[in-house]
């Protein structure tokens, strides 16, 4: 089964759910870019994007 991920418009987290499990924000299937935060305390990207949890993220969510 193919995992269909959607991106959160608020925090850019990727999820298969219909609502963001992290912030409860709206999600969109129109996203691009992909990155994984393994350790948000040591990630420069996480710091820049104000991400305070680990997971999969989209660079852009429209
Ligand atoms: Zn979110």
Domain of residue 22: give its range: 6-61
Asked if residue 1 is part of any domain, the answer here is: no
- 21: helix, strand or coil: coil
Q: Look at residue 14 and tell me if it is in a domain.
A: yes
Read off the pLDDT of residues 5-29 as tens digits, 9 standing for 90 and up.
999 999 999 999 999 999 999 999 9
Q: From the CA of 1, how far away is ligand 1's center (Å)?
A: 24
Whole-angstrom Cα distance, residue 13 to residue 1? 21
The number of distinct structural domains making up the chain is 1
- pTM for this one? 0.85
| pLDDT reported for residue 34 | 93
Residue whose tokens read 């759910």: 17
pLDDT tops 70 at residue 2: no
Structure tokens at 44: 């420069």
User: Chain centroid to CA 43: how far?
Assistant: 14
CATH of residue 53's domain is 2.20.28.90
Residues, Cβ < 5 Å to ion ligand 1: 8, 10-11, 13, 20, 22-23, 25
Q: How far is the CA of 14 from the centre of ligand 1 (A)?
A: 8
Tokens of 50: 């104000």
* Average of per-residue pLDDT across 1-8: 83
- Tokens found for residue 30: 């129109």
In a domain, 39, yes or no: yes
Q: What is the pLDDT of residues 24-55, one digit of tens each?
A: 999 999 999 999 999 999 999 899 988 999 99
């Amino acid at each position: 089964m193919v995992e269909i991920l959607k991106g959160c418009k608020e925090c850019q987290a990727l999820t298969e759910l219909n609502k963001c499990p992290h912030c409860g924000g709206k999600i969109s299937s129109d996203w691009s870019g992909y990155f994984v935060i393994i350790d948000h305390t040591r990630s420069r990207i996480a710091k820049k994007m104000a991400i305070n949890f680990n997971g999969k993220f989209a660079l852009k969510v429209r």
